[in-house]
Amino acid sequence: MEPAALPTALQLAASGDTGLSLEKRAALGASLLLLQRDYRFERVWFWGCIQGVRGTYYIAQGLGPDLAAPRSRLYSLNCVEWSLLPPATVEMVEQAALLKGLFQGDPSFEYEYAEVNAEDDERFLEDGKELTIKEENRLVATIEQIDRAVGIIPRRAFMKTPLGSVHENRNFEGLSLTEAKKLSSYFHFTEPVNLKNKTLLEKADLDPSTDFLDSLEHDVPQGSWTVQFEKGGTVVVLRSLLWLGLTFYHVPMTKQYGYIYCGTGWKIKHICQPKTILGRTLITDMENMKIYLQGEKARPVVKNINVLYLLDPGRMHKLGILKWMWKKCTCLPTTAMHFLLQITDSTDFKNISFW
Amino acid sequence: MVRRPIPRVKHRRTKQRSSAGGPAGRLGTATTRTAALRKAQSADTKQARPKARPAPQRRSCEGLLHHERFRYGALPIMKRGKKRGGRPLQTNRREEQLGQLQNGVERPPSGNGNGSGSRRSTQPGGGDKRQSLPTAEANSRPAPSGNGCPGNGCRFTSVASEAEGLLGRLAMAEHGPYLPHEPGYGLYQPGYGLFDDQTPDPDHRMLACQNAKAYLLQSSLTSGLNLYDHLVNVLTKILDERPANPVDIFENISKDVKAAQFQKKMDTLRDEHEILPSFESAEIRRNLFFKSDAGDEEREEELGEIPLPNVMETAFYFEQGGIGLSRDETYLIFLALKKLVSVQPIQTCRFWGRILGREKNYIIAEVQFREGEEEEETEEEEVIDEGDKRMDEVEDEDEEKEKNEPPKSTYKPPPVIPKEENGTGANKHVYFVCNEPGEPWVKLPPVTPAQIVCARKIKKFFTGRLDAPIVSFPPFPGNEANYLRAQIARISAGTHVSPLGYYRFSEEEGDEDEEGGGGRDDYEENPDFEPLSAFEMVESLSTWVHHVPSILKQGRCVWFNPLQKTEEEEGEEEEEEKDEVPDELQQETGPPLLTPLSEDEGIQNIPAWTVSLSTRLIPQYAVAILRSNRWPGAYAFACGTKFGNIYFGWGHKYSLGNHTPALPPPVQPEYPNGPEIREAADPTVEEELAFKAAQEQKALEGMEGEEEEEEEEFEEDEEEEEEDD
């Protein structure tokens, strides 16, 4: 968000643990402007912070005239001195995905893969790559992931020009109260994935200049966003349950919106763990204790008929399933899922909820 | 009205001669031209108004008619109309405009003189009709302007006429009869004026103008607007407001103008006043600001000390570290706490924190009741106990059903570990929650060990509704209120810390030796507490201590021997607790109270706590801030003699990697699998035959007599011996 809007934004979106002390807040007001001058950015946004064990990274983003263009990212440990981060590569994201635990708070800290996973280690050995990853790279990868997964804007806030660049829509006057409640009025501000897969019927109402992004409506898993009206129903606040710490706020009927991330940089996967088995994606929704089967296309195949009830594992209730099937299912999550997938393949079961 | 190609050439020549300045000259005199036009208009409008006025009333229905016709192009219609020799198919309005043209002809040449600033009227050799063209334009203009944008000044009209002239020219290319035959010939060639080389026949040109305008005047079926009026309004708006770079935001202006026009309300229904959802919550919040009754105040005065904490002061220190809600929200919570204190018999009260939920959030207050008035609680507890009993009954019923079936279950449930008494252990404090400040506070039920044990195994988001069920594996005993209470107990036990020396064990309890490990749970404020500086507080974690007892694996703070309960009578439990000597089970012990934080276990390489200073620049006034890594969202501060703990988060403990739910237990066997039960394999045919043969042989031998028996026996013995060898 814009540095000028930061105090208001923090007040509106504060989840309580933003960790931006008064001193840092004041420092941001000055240093971000200087960033804009030194790096010749069109505008500078404060992105948020990632908490580490020994320090906290504060992240800023520099933008050019085209908002959709890759952004430059900068980090700082004290909100005064900023350093430019390298652009994220696919490799970096892959490597960082292997790492667990909190950030250290030291950009030159090197993680060793040996601690992480022996198999992956071998893989990287074969490739002749280094066995370590710098925390700086992990930071880049994490920011990239967060931006890609949960960086959101309200619908119509940005506009695509015929030349392909994306600008702020100066005609945007905020979502209405009814719109603000719906996930379909918020967009992922990243390359659209599901847009092309939409049916003609769904596309009929879309306006190509404003609806050029994916909406949150079909996010997997469903329910990974919370929409709340706070401050006595005047501010709509969206929080991601996948990346705890991401808060988006918008004051309906005004142009005020933005998101801020303040967290540990760790994605919560227990509410949803997609796995690819037999060429299909299975999604376990631990929050609702369900398993979804995702089809080849990106749309989730969610059928709502529960076929397999195992209410009490001790006293098994046999409902449409043979006992030997359950006996085979000894461990979670891979084998069980594999097994459940076999059931779904061999029978007409579409959705299986277990426990 | 037939085309006359030959005069066109003539016109072209004359035209070229007349417009000596060329395009540049034309453009250069734009302002003078406007001024001249303005004059012409003021003269013309006076004459034309009365006739032009009636047009708008008819236009709406005409628009519909025109709409159909013009879809097929204006020109063919015109031609058809002309061929018939009668009036053109255009309806009344067009006739009227034509009539105006006629009038223009009859008018004295002064009108022409006024319009001489216009390029077109300078063309020499034109007939009367041609000269009257600008007049006609001016004449017909007030009609739409009067309709679309009343009350606009003179300047607007001049602009409109300018626009109209331009539109007229544009329309000529599209709809006029003099479209050049060569492709790509016309407006699309830059620097090539359409009329530089040719002067259209005045009649046709006029008609083309009318045609174009009639096209522009078609009102849309959906919105009821027409483009002509709209353009006029847009241009007026631009000239009134003079925005920078109007070309770039033209669409927006157009949109704004349209939006502004839609305001007119056509139906006779009265608007219902919109009731925003925020009104309701505003009402709730406003109630916080009313002063409570006089009786309450007196009561407080009698009591002397008000248990209300200074929430704002605590919030101030946290704010130094960037933790906390916005100030006005904190103040609302402050007011809400005051309300709670005035209603309930509370001894101590504290703002515990806020837990985020999927639908709503929980604001949590931690209180201790005054000692004499805890009876109220017990009543409520009984209700809860009854609820538990009901649950048990249901289970009993299940068991009864099972009893009807032959095999009796030999399963015995493990003994239930009793919950801790109110005011002790995990139930030392009572918690009140509400979703928004101002809403009524709801008391959470006391926590049971089973709930704590189960809460450790699951990880669920809160919904914000206390009565929501917890769907999980292993199944959680209770609903969300119980889960919330269990998490609060866990968080408090793990993260409530104070500076070393702030609390000390109360001496009255004495005899440390007798009580042993986790026995001492009474502490008091140390009057001789000497605060450390913030720097010292940050340097080492050993300057911080836990002041809430840790919860054992069992789910209690004080260990309870489950075996003892089965032997002894249940009524004496409490007394036994202290005396009990663990027979078979090892007593679980946790770290004693007031253990320094440096003893806390981290998660793998991650230390349990992160310390920081609110400011490095002004160390004199720095506040030491402590952040828990085990419970993200839990914070503590210490500044001088002040300290505080608070929690803002999701109520989840940090886990390295992902949370994996516990595995279901293995499936029970239906029957014991042993040799007695196992069915023997059926004999094969060979075996049967062999058996049969043996039987027959035996029978035969029996028939032969007993003489040989001895021999047989002897033989058999021999055989056995051989086998043994």
Q: What is the pLDDT of residue B584?
A: 53
In the 8-state DSSP scheme, what is residue A352?
Answer: B
The string of pLDDT tens digits covering residues B177-217 is 444 444 444 444 444 445 555 565 788 889 989 988 888 89
Q: Which of A15, A100, A313 sits opposite B664 (nearest CB)?
A: A313
User: Do B214 and B171 form a contact (C-beta atoms < 8 A)?
Assistant: no
DSSP states of A67-129: TTSPPEEEEESSSSS-EEPPPP-HHHHHHHHT--S-B-S-TT-EEEHHHH-HHHHHHHHHTT-
Q: How confident is the model at residue B573 (pLDDT cuts 50, 70, 90)?
A: very low
For B335-361, what is the mean pLDDT? 88
Residue in chain A nearest B254 by alpha carbon:
A171
Q: Which residues pair with A284 in a beta bridge?
A: A273, A291
State both tokens at A65.
């005239």
Burial pattern B281-306, b for ≥16 Cβ within 10 A else e, equals beebbeebeeeeeeeeeeebeeeeee
State both tokens at B610.
């992160």
Q: How confident is the model at residue B80 (pLDDT cuts 50, 70, 90)?
A: very low
With beta carbons under 8 A apart, name residues in chain B contacting A22. Answer: 319-320, 322, 614
CA distance A12 to A7: 9
Q: Is-cis flag, bond preceding B607, omega within 30?
A: no
Q: What is the pLDDT of residue B148?
A: 40
Please answer yes or no on whether A316 and B667 come within 8 Å at the CB atom. Answer: yes
State both tokens at A27.
């420092």
CA distance B168 to B164: 6
With beta carbons under 8 A apart, name residues in chain B contacting A263. Answer: 632
Least confident range of A118-127, A178-187, B328-337: A118-127
From A8, A348, A19, A231, select the one nearest B613 (Cα to Cα): A19
Q: What is the pLDDT of residue B564?
A: 61
Q: Which of A25, A53, A289 sits opposite B473 (nearest CB)?
A: A289
Phi then psi for residue A237, to 5 deg, are -120, 125
The string of pLDDT tens digits covering residues A34-70 is 999 999 998 899 999 998 888 889 999 998 888 888 8
pLDDT, averaged across chain A: 73
Please answer yes or no on whether A228 and B360 come within 8 Å at the CB atom. Answer: yes
User: Do B637 and B318 form a contact (C-beta atoms < 8 A)?
Assistant: yes
Beta-carbon neighbour count of residue B96 at 10 Å?
Answer: 19
A189 vs A160, A175, A239, B230, B316, CA distance in Å? 12, 17, 16, 35, 36
**Strand order, beta sheet including A246-250:** A83-84, A72-76, A56-63, A43-51, A257-263, A246-250, A235-240, A225-230
Reduced to 3 states (helix: H, G, I; strand: E, B; else coil), residue A230 is strand
With beta carbons under 8 A apart, name residues in chain B contacting A289. Answer: 471-473
Q: What is the pLDDT of residue B282?
A: 86
Residue in chain B nearest A11 by alpha carbon:
B326
A247: CB partners within 8 A, 6+ apart: A13, A15, A237, A238, A239, A259, A260, A261, A262
Residue in chain B nearest A226 by alpha carbon:
B358
Considering A213-222, B316-325, B386-395, the range whose residues carry the highest mean pLDDT is B316-325
Q: Which of B604, B629, B667 sits opposite A326 (nearest CB)?
A: B667
Q: Is the pLDDT of residue A232 over 90?
A: no
> Smallest CA–CA separation between B329 and chain A, in Å?
8
CA atoms B80, B84, B86, B91: torsion sign: negative
The string of pLDDT tens digits covering residues B33-72 is 444 445 544 444 444 444 444 444 444 444 444 444 444 4
Q: What is the pLDDT of residue B195?
A: 52
For B563-579, what is the mean pLDDT? 46
Beta-carbon neighbour count of residue B3 at 10 Å?
Answer: 11
From B456, B451, B434, select the one nearest B652 (Cα to Cα): B456
With beta carbons under 8 A apart, name residues in chain B contacting A11. Answer: 326
Looking at per-residue pLDDT, the higher value among B439 and A313 belongs to: B439
Q: Which of B610, B629, B665 sits opposite A313 (nearest CB)?
A: B665
Residue in chain A nearest B250 by alpha carbon:
A171
Q: How confident is the model at residue B243 (pLDDT cuts 50, 70, 90)?
A: confident
Q: Can you say whether residue A317 is alpha, beta or left, with left for phi > 0 and alpha for psi between -120 and 50 degrees?
A: beta
Burial pattern B582-610, b for ≥16 Cβ within 10 A else e, equals eeeeeeeebebbbbbbeebeeeeebbbbb
For B72-81, what is the mean pLDDT? 41
The string of pLDDT tens digits covering residues B7-17 is 443 444 444 44
Amino acid letter, residue B705: G
Q: Is B393 exposed, middle or buried (0-12, 13-18, 19+ CB in 10 A)?
A: exposed
> Smallest CA–CA separation between B655 and chain A, in Å?
8
Q: Give how far the C-alpha of residue A42 lies from the chain's centroid of Cα atoms, to the nearest Å.
A: 26
Q: How confident is the model at residue B586 (pLDDT cuts 50, 70, 90)?
A: low
With beta carbons under 8 A apart, name residues in chain A contacting B617. Answer: 23
Q: Which of A102, A231, A310 sits opposite B606 (nearest CB)?
A: A102
CA distance B198 to B18: 12
Q: Which of B249, B280, B325 sits opposite A170 (nearest CB)?
A: B249
Q: Which of A14, A23, A268 sits opposite B615 (nearest CB)?
A: A23
> Smallest CA–CA separation between B423 and chain A, in Å?
29
User: Do B579 and B442 form a contact (C-beta atoms < 8 A)?
Assistant: no
With beta carbons under 8 A apart, name residues in chain B contacting A78. Answer: 616
> Smallest CA–CA separation between A253 and chain B, in Å?
13
B711: CB partners within 8 A, 6+ apart: none
Looking at per-residue pLDDT, the higher value among A141 and B57 belongs to: A141
The string of pLDDT tens digits covering residues B94-142 is 444 444 444 444 444 443 444 333 344 334 443 444 444 444 444 444 4
The string of pLDDT tens digits covering residues B364-414 is 999 988 776 554 444 444 444 444 444 444 444 455 555 566 666 677 777
Looking at per-residue pLDDT, the higher value among B685 and B100 belongs to: B685
Residue in chain B nearest A333 by alpha carbon:
B660
Beta-carbon neighbour count of residue B70 at 10 Å?
Answer: 18
Q: Is the pLDDT of residue B558 over 60?
A: yes
CA distance A11 to B652: 24
Least confident range of A337-346, B304-313, B436-445, B560-569: A337-346
User: Do B74 and B108 form a contact (C-beta atoms < 8 A)?
Assistant: no
Q: Say how many residues make up chain A.
A: 355
CA distance B645 to B649: 13
Q: What is the pLDDT of residue B663?
A: 64
CA distance B153 to A67: 42
Please answer yes or no on whether B324 and A233 come within 8 Å at the CB atom. Answer: no
Residue in chain A nearest B617 by alpha carbon:
A23
Looking at per-residue pLDDT, the higher value among B429 and A207 belongs to: B429
CA distance A82 to B585: 58
Whether this model's pTM surpasses 0.80: no
3-state secondary structure B186-239: CCCCCCCCCCCCCCCCHHHHHHHHHHHHHHHCCECCCCCCEHHHHHHHHHHHHH
> Smallest CA–CA separation between B194 and chain A, in Å?
29
Looking at per-residue pLDDT, the higher value among A340 and B484 belongs to: B484
> Smallest CA–CA separation between A284 and chain B, in Å?
11
A33 vs A39, A73, B342, B640, B665, CA distance in Å? 10, 15, 49, 36, 60
Q: How confident is the model at residue B443 (pLDDT cuts 50, 70, 90)?
A: very high
Residue in chain A nearest B319 by alpha carbon:
A21
Phi then psi for residue A215, to 5 deg, are -90, 170
Q: What is the pLDDT of residue B444?
A: 92
Q: Is the pLDDT of residue A330 over 60?
A: no
Whether ipTM > 0.85 holds is no
> Smallest CA–CA separation between B659 and chain A, in Å?
5
Q: What is the pLDDT of residue B275?
A: 80
Q: Which of B276, B354, B610 sits opposite A16 (nearest CB)?
A: B354
For A210-233, what is the mean pLDDT? 83
Q: How many CB pairs under 8 A join A and B?
A: 144
Please answer yes or no on whether A16 and B660 come within 8 Å at the CB atom. Answer: no
With beta carbons under 8 A apart, name residues in chain B contacting A17. Answer: 323, 632-633, 635, 648-649
Please answer yes or no on whether B605 and A241 come within 8 Å at the CB atom. Answer: no
CA distance B83 to B530: 111
Q: Can you say whether residue B432 is alpha, beta or left, with left for phi > 0 and alpha for psi between -120 and 50 degrees?
A: beta
Least confident range of A242-256, B452-466, B659-673: B659-673
Q: Which of B324, B459, B664 sits opposite A16 (nearest CB)?
A: B324
> Smallest CA–CA separation between A280 and chain B, in Å?
21
User: Do B668 and A314 form a contact (C-beta atoms < 8 A)?
Assistant: yes
Please answer yes or no on whether A101 and B471 come within 8 Å at the CB atom. Answer: no
State both tokens at B205.
């040109």
Q: What is the pLDDT of residue B374?
A: 55
Please answer yes or no on whether B661 and A228 come within 8 Å at the CB atom. Answer: no
